[in-house]
Amino acid sequence: MKHKILPIIKKKDIPKNYCDTPIGKLLEYHNLNRSFEKYSQAELLIGMCMDNRKHLHIPDNFAYIIRSGGANLRYSEFKVSYAIAVGGVKHIALIAHNHCAMVNLIARKNEFISGLVKRAGWTKQAAEEHFMNLALMHEIGDEIDFILSETARLKKRYPKIKVAPLYYRVEDNKLSVIL
Protein backbone atom coordinates (compact mmCIF):
# COMPACT_ATOMS: atom_id res chain seq x y z
CA MET A 1 0.00 0.00 0.00
CA LYS A 2 1.28 3.46 -0.85
CA HIS A 3 1.24 5.96 1.97
CA LYS A 4 1.39 9.73 1.81
CA ILE A 5 4.41 11.49 3.24
CA LEU A 6 3.44 14.98 4.37
CA PRO A 7 6.42 17.36 4.54
CA ILE A 8 6.31 19.94 7.33
CA ILE A 9 7.54 23.20 5.83
CA LYS A 10 5.39 25.63 7.78
CA LYS A 11 3.29 25.41 10.95
CA LYS A 12 0.02 25.06 9.05
CA ASP A 13 1.36 21.82 7.47
CA ILE A 14 1.16 20.08 10.85
CA PRO A 15 -2.00 17.92 10.95
CA LYS A 16 -4.65 19.28 13.32
CA ASN A 17 -4.54 16.20 15.56
CA TYR A 18 -0.87 16.96 16.32
CA CYS A 19 -1.15 20.74 16.74
CA ASP A 20 -0.63 21.93 20.31
CA THR A 21 0.73 18.53 21.35
CA PRO A 22 4.30 17.41 22.04
CA ILE A 23 4.27 15.78 18.58
CA GLY A 24 3.49 19.14 16.98
CA LYS A 25 6.18 20.78 19.10
CA LEU A 26 8.70 18.15 17.94
CA LEU A 27 7.91 18.99 14.31
CA GLU A 28 8.18 22.72 15.05
CA TYR A 29 11.45 22.41 16.98
CA HIS A 30 13.11 20.16 14.45
CA ASN A 31 11.84 21.50 11.13
CA LEU A 32 10.74 25.06 11.84
CA ASN A 33 13.34 26.23 14.37
CA ARG A 34 10.76 27.00 17.04
CA SER A 35 12.44 28.73 19.99
CA PHE A 36 13.27 26.24 22.71
CA GLU A 37 11.18 26.23 25.86
CA LYS A 38 12.55 24.95 29.17
CA TYR A 39 11.39 21.54 30.33
CA SER A 40 11.77 19.97 33.74
CA GLN A 41 10.32 16.66 32.58
CA ALA A 42 9.78 14.88 29.27
CA GLU A 43 6.53 15.41 27.38
CA LEU A 44 7.20 12.87 24.66
CA LEU A 45 8.74 9.48 23.98
CA ILE A 46 10.61 9.26 20.69
CA GLY A 47 11.40 5.90 19.15
CA MET A 48 13.96 6.18 16.40
CA CYS A 49 16.66 4.19 14.67
CA MET A 50 20.16 3.90 16.08
CA ASP A 51 21.51 5.18 12.73
CA ASN A 52 24.26 7.72 13.33
CA ARG A 53 23.14 9.95 10.45
CA LYS A 54 20.10 11.20 12.36
CA HIS A 55 20.07 13.99 14.92
CA LEU A 56 17.03 15.77 16.31
CA HIS A 57 16.88 19.50 17.05
CA ILE A 58 14.96 19.52 20.35
CA PRO A 59 15.38 21.17 23.75
CA ASP A 60 16.93 19.43 26.74
CA ASN A 61 14.53 17.38 28.88
CA PHE A 62 11.79 17.52 26.20
CA ALA A 63 11.73 13.83 25.33
CA TYR A 64 12.77 10.35 26.29
CA ILE A 65 14.51 8.78 23.30
CA ILE A 66 14.83 5.07 22.63
CA ARG A 67 17.12 4.29 19.75
CA SER A 68 17.11 0.83 18.24
CA GLY A 69 17.63 -0.62 14.78
CA GLY A 70 14.72 0.38 12.56
CA ALA A 71 12.99 2.17 15.47
CA ASN A 72 11.84 -1.29 16.49
CA LEU A 73 10.44 -0.96 20.02
CA ARG A 74 9.22 -4.56 20.31
CA TYR A 75 12.18 -5.41 22.54
CA SER A 76 12.07 -2.14 24.48
CA GLU A 77 8.50 -2.33 25.68
CA PHE A 78 9.41 -2.13 29.37
CA LYS A 79 11.17 1.17 28.64
CA VAL A 80 8.10 2.43 26.76
CA SER A 81 5.91 1.44 29.71
CA TYR A 82 8.31 3.17 32.12
CA ALA A 83 8.22 6.44 30.14
CA ILE A 84 4.42 6.34 30.28
CA ALA A 85 3.85 5.02 33.81
CA VAL A 86 6.64 6.80 35.68
CA GLY A 87 7.68 9.53 33.23
CA GLY A 88 4.11 10.60 32.54
CA VAL A 89 4.34 10.88 28.76
CA LYS A 90 1.11 10.75 26.80
CA HIS A 91 2.56 10.98 23.30
CA ILE A 92 4.92 8.81 21.27
CA ALA A 93 6.64 9.76 18.01
CA LEU A 94 7.93 6.80 16.01
CA ILE A 95 10.46 7.91 13.44
CA ALA A 96 11.31 5.80 10.40
CA HIS A 97 14.00 6.99 8.02
CA ASN A 98 15.06 6.38 4.46
CA HIS A 99 18.06 4.17 3.63
CA CYS A 100 17.59 2.13 6.82
CA ALA A 101 20.11 -0.70 7.20
CA MET A 102 17.52 -2.88 8.97
CA VAL A 103 15.80 -3.33 5.60
CA ASN A 104 16.94 -6.40 3.63
CA LEU A 105 19.37 -7.59 6.28
CA ILE A 106 20.05 -10.79 4.35
CA ALA A 107 21.89 -8.69 1.75
CA ARG A 108 24.36 -7.68 4.50
CA LYS A 109 24.93 -11.21 5.80
CA ASN A 110 28.49 -11.60 4.49
CA GLU A 111 29.47 -8.09 5.59
CA PHE A 112 28.02 -8.75 9.05
CA ILE A 113 29.84 -12.04 9.46
CA SER A 114 33.20 -10.80 8.17
CA GLY A 115 32.89 -7.66 10.32
CA LEU A 116 32.41 -9.71 13.50
CA VAL A 117 35.33 -11.97 12.55
CA LYS A 118 37.66 -9.07 11.72
CA ARG A 119 36.61 -6.47 14.32
CA ALA A 120 35.27 -8.51 17.24
CA GLY A 121 37.47 -11.62 17.06
CA TRP A 122 34.58 -14.02 16.49
CA THR A 123 34.92 -17.28 14.60
CA LYS A 124 33.16 -17.36 11.25
CA GLN A 125 30.84 -20.11 12.52
CA ALA A 126 29.84 -18.16 15.65
CA ALA A 127 29.22 -14.99 13.60
CA GLU A 128 27.11 -16.90 11.06
CA GLU A 129 25.03 -18.57 13.79
CA HIS A 130 24.53 -15.19 15.47
CA PHE A 131 23.30 -13.65 12.23
CA MET A 132 21.03 -16.58 11.35
CA ASN A 133 19.51 -16.69 14.86
CA LEU A 134 18.79 -12.98 15.16
CA ALA A 135 18.54 -11.31 11.74
CA LEU A 136 14.90 -12.20 11.19
CA MET A 137 13.98 -10.74 14.58
CA HIS A 138 15.48 -7.41 13.57
CA GLU A 139 14.53 -7.28 9.87
CA ILE A 140 11.87 -4.59 9.44
CA GLY A 141 10.99 -4.94 5.76
CA ASP A 142 9.84 -1.64 4.27
CA GLU A 143 10.57 1.28 6.63
CA ILE A 144 7.18 2.95 6.28
CA ASP A 145 5.14 -0.25 6.45
CA PHE A 146 7.08 -1.27 9.56
CA ILE A 147 6.64 2.06 11.37
CA LEU A 148 2.91 2.03 10.59
CA SER A 149 2.56 -1.51 11.96
CA GLU A 150 4.57 -0.54 15.04
CA THR A 151 2.34 2.54 15.47
CA ALA A 152 -0.78 0.34 15.30
CA ARG A 153 0.73 -2.15 17.76
CA LEU A 154 1.59 0.56 20.30
CA LYS A 155 -1.83 2.24 19.93
CA LYS A 156 -3.48 -1.08 20.72
CA ARG A 157 -1.13 -1.78 23.64
CA TYR A 158 -1.46 1.76 25.10
CA PRO A 159 -4.94 2.96 24.02
CA LYS A 160 -4.77 6.32 25.90
CA ILE A 161 -1.44 7.29 24.29
CA LYS A 162 -1.28 9.27 21.03
CA VAL A 163 1.25 7.60 18.70
CA ALA A 164 2.47 9.38 15.57
CA PRO A 165 4.32 7.79 12.64
CA LEU A 166 6.96 10.16 11.30
CA TYR A 167 9.54 9.93 8.53
CA TYR A 168 13.08 11.34 8.54
CA ARG A 169 14.89 12.05 5.26
CA VAL A 170 18.62 11.64 5.77
CA GLU A 171 19.41 13.93 2.81
CA ASP A 172 17.76 17.05 4.24
CA ASN A 173 17.48 16.19 7.96
CA LYS A 174 13.73 16.93 7.91
CA LEU A 175 10.78 15.19 9.53
CA SER A 176 7.53 14.46 7.71
CA VAL A 177 4.27 12.93 8.86
CA ILE A 178 3.20 9.58 7.46
CA LEU A 179 -0.51 9.57 6.61
Flag whether pLDDT at 1 surpasses 60: no
The 8-class DSSP code of residue 42 comes to -
Kindly report, residue by residue over 131-143, the tens digit of the pLDDT.
Answer: 999 999 999 999 9
pLDDT score of 3: 83
User: 0.85 cut: is pTM over it?
Assistant: yes
| Distance from chain centroid for Cα 115 | 25
Mean pLDDT of the chain: 96
| Record: fold of 5-101+141-178 | Beta-carbonic Anhydrase; Chain A (3.40.1050)
Domain ranges in the chain are: 5-101+141-178, 104-139
Cβ–Cβ < 8 Å for 90, 160: yes
Question: Mean pLDDT across the stretch 91-118?
Answer: 96
